[in-house]
Amino acid sequence: MTTDRFDIVIVGSGPGGYVAAIRAGQLGLKTALIEKDPFQGGTCLHRGCIPTKALLENASRYRDLLEASDFGLSIGDVEIDWSRIQARKEGVVRQLSGGVSGLLKKQKVEVITGWGRVMSPRNVGIYEKTDYGRIGLDKGPVRTISADHIVLATGSVPREIGSVPFDGRRIISSDHVLELETLPESMVIVGAGAVGVEFASIFHRFGTRVTLVEALPRLLPIEDHDVSAELARAFRRQGIDARTDTPLMGASPVEGGVEVTLGSESLTADLVLIAIGRAPVTEGVGLENLRVETNDGYIVIDEYCETGEPGVYAIGDVIPTPWLAHVASMEGVMVVERIAGHDVQPVPYGETPNCTYCEPEVASVGLTEQEAIDQGYAVRVGSFPFLASGRAQIAGHTAGFVKIVAEDRYDEVLGVHIIGHKATELIAEASAVLRLEGTVAELIHTIHAHPTLSESVHEAAHAVYGEAIHY
């Protein structure tokens, strides 16, 4: 068996791995990208971000049609064709996946299908059988490749509750829910993080009776308290049964559905979606052959994503950084540029934008109000409601607000928190402000076009000093 040699080999083709591979190709590095699936793009493109947002868009369009009369439009009966909705979702995924493949080919990245397992600090084996969990790696590699540098980007899988294992039919994961052949009449969603609230929005808008439960005291627990409270109010107005401080005690399939025990109460639903987070894929990738440490299942890295084994890096969901596609991509670019000898800076994790595509949308960057207080800042806060925005009134989406957290001494913006229509687009301005260490005064003196939703960011800056013009 011959061993092919590369400058860099990347294991996993998600938004960390494929972006790293493309950048490596741009920099002239001989690059191999190993992927267990017969397509590139990873969980984000095939089982996460993209298909989920495609369904959210369909659900939003459907709800707009149902409410068309509010805009003086007569539409008639609107029906859901679930098979066509699923087909459109798959079409979007195929097109984007083809685009990724084309970009990799353009940069002369060699894409290898198989399970990649590190055999030594400079060698990776490619195994024909890709389902490590069922069949193991005892047959030996079908190919070996060597490289000066190895990047582990093997991603994550939906986290399971041991006492309520997935069966793929009644007790399902975020992977399974994307493949449903019919719309359920009722659903219990366990976990009110980003995944849980997004699927609650999708299926509620399509007419499913949704019960959303969270063991912690509030929805979206990592967000600002005011945002969590506003989302809870919005969900109640919509008719979503959202419960906090509510643990899942058990779930058992019964005829025609599943019986779910929530605290001391039991109810029956068509299915249960477990959305409590994700677990890193580190089993079977050969960590035992490296000087690599793990902590709670995650690979330990330094500020440049290098492991304890020199020349071996880890990015994305296998390391304890924010589990977000855009973070993995930034890590991938940073690692490859460092390998190429560029002067790089560590990824600024404190400036990571969080985006949740529920209804209303939620987006944030920087410190929450409580985090700023806990870190010892003298805090100033300003908020502006979308109810007072002309553009929000025109769009018919007036729920939510913009909240700015600033520190008093130097006027620096510490965090921006948005809940409302197009929040995930509006957060980009806030990300730039934090990156540039901008102040509230600079935001106030930045001209914002009228009428736009972005004016609400401008008004929230004024509100930090109690001087909002339109509220």
Q: How far apart are CA 462 and CA 247, in angstroms?
A: 41
Query: Which residue from 163, 227, 212, 183 is spatially nearest to 364, judged by alpha carbons?
Result: 227
Q: How far apart are CA 340 and CA 29, in angstroms?
A: 8
Q: Beta strands 3-11 and 143-152: pairing type?
A: parallel
- Hey, what amino acid is at 343? D
Q: What is the DSSP letter of 160?
A: -
Q: How far apart are CA 447 and CA 239, in angstroms?
A: 39
Q: What is the DSSP letter of 182?
A: S
450 is catalytic: yes
Which secondary-structure segment (H or E) carries 317? none
Listed in sequence order, the DSSP H helices in 206-314 are 225-238
Q: What's the chain's length in residues?
A: 471
Cα 4 to its chain centre, rounded Å, is 35
Of 326, 450, 458, 470, the catalytic one is 450
Q: How far apart are CA 164 and CA 172, in angstroms?
A: 10
For residue 206, what are the CA distances in angstroms to 227, 256, 303, 423, 452?
A: 24, 20, 44, 22, 29
Listed in sequence order, the DSSP H helices in 166-271 are 174-177, 194-205, 225-238
Query: Which residue from 79, 78, 84, 77 is spatially nearest to 55, judged by alpha carbons?
Result: 84
Catalytic positions, please? 450
